[in-house]
Chains A and B, each alone.
Chain A
């Protein structure tokens, strides 16, 4: 059994793929911050930011609509901002009754809500592009060499390595349950909801115990190879002229976005 459903890297030889991972992480973070700083209703700037994402898509040889197609997964999270529709003071543009409350949507609230959705949608597209053009271990390297605390990069690194192992473990548990979920002829099978919930609880407990024991074995394996509490990594990346040029171009692009958003 083998699970690699979480791998989002697409192997290509594009300009973007070949960039130093530190540059890619930095540009992605800078782009997300730049989006967050754009004022509400800065439509031209939003359009420019989207153009930026589309150009990055094309340069990475993934196809112009690559990130667009995958970005809708993040939209439900934008619903967390739905309260701004009703909470920002402004000109009422519609109202409805929700349970015992009168909900009034204001023009300022709608503007803020749409801007938040666009900002998060653009940011998610850039993050999707980052993991599509950079192998995950290289992102972790980049974070390490950008001075992100070692404990965080270690947790991310172990999470990535063992997510696959744990998923396989879950699949094995589910398969074992499925294999024994039999029914006698004429009998209703499956048990009561409470019974099924208890079984699911046992499985979660089982998974926790297995993971806990595994963590012990992994720690032993690390100790056996000289781990003394500090994780050492090699520094395989070097900035090239190309990296600096792309970095400067992107920063200029973001400055133009900010300027456009404020005129």
Chain B
């Protein structure tokens, strides 16, 4: 399967390498681009480097290579601006929702961006509206179901008005109804997305483009339809045709 060329104007990653302190090499020369408005799936077996790559795009992990977000190089000086542009939602919503109430969690990002209080309130309301959770504004995070927590977790980054939304395993652990609600939500959000998932039905339904990672490398980057048709290739990389 060949790696196609995309001229990205939101995300440009070139020759990114990363090894953890225990010398485990997680990324081996990753290069890809994302265009504005694209919805891209990132798939691959466990340990392929998907989560590591996502943490790189927000500057939480610092690898060797070049990353450009919205025309800005990812450097220490640019980190605050880049973090407001890249909305990163973690796999486990209990890690993402660290404040006692929903409101405080959704307000966390805008407050740390230094926005005035009226603007923070407006953004929180808009973000909760976008994930259809306005009624949960004053609820305590630990009283929510997993599906509700996942939607609030997305709201926590939408309130920062990011240019790109990066989600790690958004449909993991959801019952069919909560999964369907999430899929509809992701479909309707008019924002660039890079979503790591094992849910191949979700990939087929939502994402025109798919990036396949294995062993810290991108082994395919192209049209989802074509990738999903190549059963032998999917099997080779620990994936299944939906």
Chain A residues proximal to chain B, CB less than 8 Å: 2, 4, 7, 135-137, 140, 157-158, 160-162, 164-165, 214, 217-218, 220-228, 232-235
Q: Is the CB of B142 within 8 A of A164?
A: yes
Q: Is the CB of A225 within 8 A of B83?
A: yes
Q: Is the CB of A220 within 8 A of B60?
A: yes
Closest residue on chain A to residue B111 by CB atoms: A232
Q: How long is the Cα–Cα vector from A165 to B142 in the complex, in angstroms? A: 8
Q: Is the CB of B98 within 8 A of A218?
A: yes
Beyond A165-B142, A225-B157, A232-B111, whether A220 also contacts B90 by CB under 8 A is yes
Q: How many residues in B have their beta carbons less than 8 Å from beta carbons of A?
A: 35
Beyond A220-B90, A224-B60, A226-B80, whether A137 also contacts B100 by CB under 8 A is yes
Q: Point out the residues of chain A lying under 8 angstroms from B97, CB to CB.
A: 161
Q: Is the CB of B95 within 8 A of A218?
A: yes
User: Does B235 belong to the interface (CB within 8 Å)?
Assistant: no
Q: Is the CB of A221 within 8 A of B99?
A: no
Q: Is the CB of A233 within 8 A of B142?
A: no
5 smallest beta-carbon distances between A and B, as pairs? A226-B112, A137-B100, A225-B109, A232-B111, A217-B95
Nearest Cβ distance between residue B155 and chain A, in whole angstroms? 12
Q: Is the CB of A235 within 8 A of B90?
A: no
Beyond A4-B142, A214-B95, whether A226 also contacts B100 by CB under 8 A is no
Nearest Cβ distance between residue A103 and chain B, in whole angstroms? 48
Q: Point out the residues of chain A lying under 8 angstroms from B58, CB to CB.
A: 223-224
Q: Is the CB of A235 within 8 A of B117?
A: yes
Q: Point out the residues of chain A lying under 8 angstroms from B120, CB to CB.
A: 234
Contact among B80, B86, B98, B143 with A221 in the assembled complex (CB-CB below 8 Å)? B98
Q: Is the CB of A161 within 8 A of B95?
A: no
Q: How long is the Cα–Cα vector from A20 to B107 in the complex, in angstroms? A: 21
Question: Mostly helix, strand, loop or mixed at chain A's interface?
Answer: helix
28 A-B residue contacts at CB 8 Å? A4-B142, A4-B143, A137-B101, A137-B104, A157-B99, A158-B98, A160-B100, A161-B98, A161-B99, A161-B100, A162-B98, A165-B94, A214-B94, A214-B95, A217-B95, A218-B95, A220-B95, A221-B88, A221-B95, A221-B96, A221-B98, A222-B98, A222-B108, A223-B60, A224-B83, A225-B160, A226-B83, A233-B111
Q: How long is the Cα–Cα vector from A157 to B109 in the complex, in angstroms? A: 17
B76-133 contacts to A, CB under 8 A, are 80, 83-84, 86, 88, 90, 92, 94-101, 104, 107-109, 111-113, 117, 120-121
Q: Is the CB of A217 within 8 A of B92?
A: yes
Nearest Cβ distance between residue B90 and chain A, in whole angstroms? 5
Nearest Cβ distance between residue A166 and chain B, in whole angstroms? 10
Nearest Cβ distance between residue A259 and chain B, in whole angstroms? 40
Question: Mostly helix, strand, loop or mixed at chain B's interface?
Answer: helix
Q: Is the CB of B112 within 8 A of A225?
A: yes
Q: Point out the residues of chain A lying under 8 angstroms from B112, CB to CB.
A: 225-228, 232
Chain B residues proximal to chain A, CB less than 8 Å: 55, 58, 60, 80, 83-84, 86, 88, 90, 92, 94-101, 104, 107-109, 111-113, 117, 120-121, 140-143, 156-157, 160
Beyond A136-B100, A165-B94, A234-B120, whether A224 also contacts B143 by CB under 8 A is no
Closest residue on chain A to residue B80 by CB atoms: A226
Contact among B60, B84, B141 with A161 in the assembled complex (CB-CB below 8 Å)? B141
Beyond A4-B142, A220-B60, A235-B117, whether A225 also contacts B108 by CB under 8 A is yes
> Besides the contacts A221-B95, A226-B109, what 18 more A-B pairs have beta carbons closer than 8 Å?
A7-B140, A136-B100, A137-B101, A137-B104, A161-B99, A161-B142, A214-B94, A214-B95, A221-B90, A224-B58, A224-B88, A224-B90, A224-B157, A225-B109, A226-B113, A232-B108, A232-B111, A233-B104
